[in-house]
DNA sequence: AACAGGACCAACCGCGCGAGG
DNA sequence: CCCTCGCGCGGTTGGTCCTGT
């Protein structure tokens, strides 16, 4: 049996107060991120390290972009989900300022419902047989995923603004290939367009994470 | 105005993985 | 090797807000 991540006694749970937020922000601004296990004590917080990490990454980080997803972001989430499945951290890594939690929540509350309404299975991005589609891009029911068309469109339209995915994505492709080896209809040429204005912040972000992606902006 | 049900989202939980001893 | 520990991830929960009746 695994031990709990932290001593449950003297540990606050639930919503964070403004004072707690400020303590965490102040501490990280001075000492930087990392060593989450020791941060609560050092910062004078009665929280476990995991809770501090989550609060910082999902809410307090200064580069977080909040608010509703625009159409480009939503499209990208759909495409990336079709490629990667529920790998929210990887998907969020392609959306500057968005967190995995936010992407996951947005998927579950908005996109998933939207796809279902359109007659598209959100798990495999294929049309349900027999259901009408209101998506003009999808015409070959049951044979092609929604992202194939969108991907091909992007690849054709953005030849000078492409992401070249290297070894991390090679690994990802292997995983996906083994997962889908019997039924995959995805085009695994993982060349995806991003808005050019985001490239620089994206590059910075990738340096901070292990998502090892080579960008040609 | 009051209530119910749904939607949204912050936070928690447990597991897997990698690093270090 | 094996074990322990810390970190990161994805799934889930629960509180709050919103909307319809």
A40 with A92, same domain? no
User: Average pLDDT of chain A?
Assistant: 66
Which CATH number fits the domain that encloses residue A20? Answer: 1.10.10.60
A78 with A180, same domain? yes
Domain count along chain A: 2
Closest CA to A22 of A1, A48, A45: A45
Domain end point (choices A10, A42, A62): A62
Protein A3 CA to nucleic acid C6 C1', in Å?
13
Protein A191 CA to nucleic acid B1 C1', in Å?
56
Query: Each residue of A107-157: pLDDT tens digit?
Result: 888 888 888 777 787 777 777 655 444 443 433 333 445 444 444 444 333
User: Which of the nucleotides lies closest to A90 (Cα–C1')?
Assistant: C9
The rounded percent of chain A whose pLDDT value lies above 90 is 1
A140 with A205, same domain? yes
Task: State the DSSP H helix or E strand holding residue A121, giving kind and residue range, or none if neither.
Answer: strand A120-121
pLDDT category, A208, cuts 50, 70, 90? very low
Whole-number Å distance between alpha carbons of A194 and A19: 38
Protein A133 CA to nucleic acid C19 C1', in Å?
28
Provide the domain limits for residue A157. 71-215
Protein A138 CA to nucleic acid C9 C1', in Å?
32
CA distances from A203 to A34, A45, A114 (A): 21, 33, 31
Please tell me whether any atom of strand B lies within 7 Å of the Cβ of A16. Answer: yes
Q: Find where tokens 């908005």 sit.
A: A110
Domain end point (choices A21, A37, A62): A62
A88 with A115, same domain? yes
Residues 71-130 of A with CB under 7 A from strand B: 101-102, 104-106, 108-110, 113
User: Which of the nucleotides lies closest to A14 (Cα–C1')?
Assistant: B11
Residues 13-32 of A with CB under 7 A from strand C: 14
Protein A44 CA to nucleic acid B2 C1', in Å?
44
Domain end point (choices A62, A81, A97): A62
Q: What are phi and psi of A178, to 5 degrees?
A: -70, -35
Query: Each residue of A148-188: pLDDT tens digit?
Result: 444 444 433 333 333 333 334 444 444 444 444 434 344 43
Does A71 have pLDDT greater than 60?
yes
Res A147: pLDDT: 47
A38 with A107, same domain? no
Whole-number Å distance between alpha carbons of A22 and A72: 33
As given in the structure block, the two tokens for residue A170 are 């090679």
Please tell me whether any atom of strand B lies within 7 Å of the Cβ of A13. Answer: yes
Mean pLDDT calculated for residue range A89-104: 89
Residues 123-152 of A with CB under 7 A from strand C: none
Res A1: pLDDT: 38
Protein A156 CA to nucleic acid C19 C1', in Å?
43
Protein A9 CA to nucleic acid B13 C1', in Å?
17
């Amino acid at each position: 049996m695994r031990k709990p991540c932290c001593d449950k006694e003297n540990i606050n749970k639930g919503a964070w107060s403004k004072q707690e937020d400020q303590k965490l922000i102040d501490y990280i601004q001075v000492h930087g991120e990392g060593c989450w296990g020791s941060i609560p004590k050092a910062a004078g917080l009665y929280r476990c390290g995991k809770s501090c990490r989550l609060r910082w990454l999902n809410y307090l980080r200064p580069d977080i972009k909040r608010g509703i997803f625009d159409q480009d972001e939503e499209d990208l989430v759909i495409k990336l989900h079709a490629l990667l499945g529920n790998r929210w951290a990887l998907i969020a890594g392609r959306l500057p300022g968005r967190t995995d939690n936010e992407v996951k929540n947005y998927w579950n509350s908005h996109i998933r419902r939207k796809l279902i309404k359109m007659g598209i299975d959100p798990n495999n991005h294929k049309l349900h047989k027999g259901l009408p589609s209101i998506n003009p891009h999808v015409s070959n029911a049951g044979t092609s995923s929604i992202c194939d068309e969108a991907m091909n469109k992007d690849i054709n339209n953005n030849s000078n603004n492409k992401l070249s995915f290297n070894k991390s994505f090679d690994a990802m492709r292997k995983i996906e290939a083994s997962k889908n080896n019997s039924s995959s209809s995805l085009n695994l040429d993982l060349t995806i367009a991003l808005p050019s204005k985001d490239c620089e912040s994206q590059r910075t972000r990738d340096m901070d994470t292990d998502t090892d992606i080579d960008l040609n902006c």
